[in-house]
Structure 1
C-alpha cells in the first residue's frame, strides 16, 4: 500500500465540507488522518488533521465577505493544524485508527476529553520575519489571508502577517486565548485587480480590451 504524502491529494468529501462549515467556535474536531512515510525507532507514524473555529473578539464584519457570502473563499472558516502521532496513541487517546487496507480516512468527530482535559488549537499571529527557516520555505501555508485566495494581511510596519496553529491541552471547559497582531489590515491590491478584471469581462470596449 502506497502512503499518501500531501493533503492536497486527499479531497475533502461534501459531507466533510459541510461539517467544517457548521462548526461552532471553541470546538476542536478531528477531520482526517493519513499514513506518512516517516517513523521513529522503527515505529510508523500517522498525521492527523485538526480543525477549530477561533473566536476573534476584535474582528469586525467584512463588507467584502458580506457581498460574497455565497462564495466559500470569503467565509471565515475553521483554522487547521496537522499533527504527527503514534498510531497506538491516536487510538488510545482519540479513539481513531486508519483501516489496515487504507492510506487515509475521514473522521469528522469532536476531539474526546482526556480525563479533566480537552484538546484545542492555539492560534498565534506573528510577523513573516519570525517564521523559522523551515516555515519560511512553506510561507504560503502560514501567511494570513482574507479567505482562501484573498488579500494578504499586513502589520503596521509593512510586514506580512503569518500565523501558527498548535494543538494544546487545556482544563475542561476552557479555551486558549488567541494572539493577534493589533492594527493588521488586508491589502486592497488584489481586490482592485479583481475589480479591474471583472470590469474588463463585463465591458471589454470601455476597458480597452475589446477587438
Structure 2
C-alpha cells in the first residue's frame, strides 16, 4: 500500500449515535455479541475504543472465533479490512474469516463498537460464528458483524493479514491516538510493545 504515508493511519470516524429506545418487553438487556475481524482484533485498540485506555480488557469477554461464508479483503488506501459474504473457496480465498467474538457488557459499549466498525461496514448483519477457544470451543454462536456494503471496486482482492497490521500499523495508530491527546505517550509505547510481543 505504497499510496499511503507511513505516518498517517486510516481509521473510521467515531460519531455518537442517539440513545436507543426502551427495550421490548422480555428482551435481553445484554447486547448481542459482535464478531470483529479487523483493527479491533488488536487488544490495545479494542481496549482504547471501549475505555479510552490501551490497558487490559478485564471487563470485556473476547473469544477467538471463526465466521464461515465470509471473505476478508484489504481496502484501497485503508489500514483496516472489509468482509463480504462468500461461499466456498475461490481464487485461493479461505471460505471463512478468523477474528474475535466480543461480548460487550453494556449497550453503551456495543454502541461504541458499532460506531467504530460501522464507519466501514455499515449496519450489523447476522452471522454464525464458531468459538475457537475456551470451554465453549466448537460451539456455534449467533452474532452480528459489520460487513462491507460499499463499492466492490474499493476491495483490493488481496486478503487482509492481521499479523501484518499488528507488526506494521498498530504502532502508527497508537501514535496518532497519542498525538491527538487521547492517550499518554508511555501508555502508547507499552501497548505497542504488548501488541508486538503478544503479552
TM range, normalised to the smaller chain?
under 0.3
User: Larger strand proportion, structure 1 or 2?
Assistant: 1
Structure 1 or 2, whichever has the larger Rg, is 1
TM-score normalized by structure 2? 0.25
TM-score normalized by structure 1? 0.24
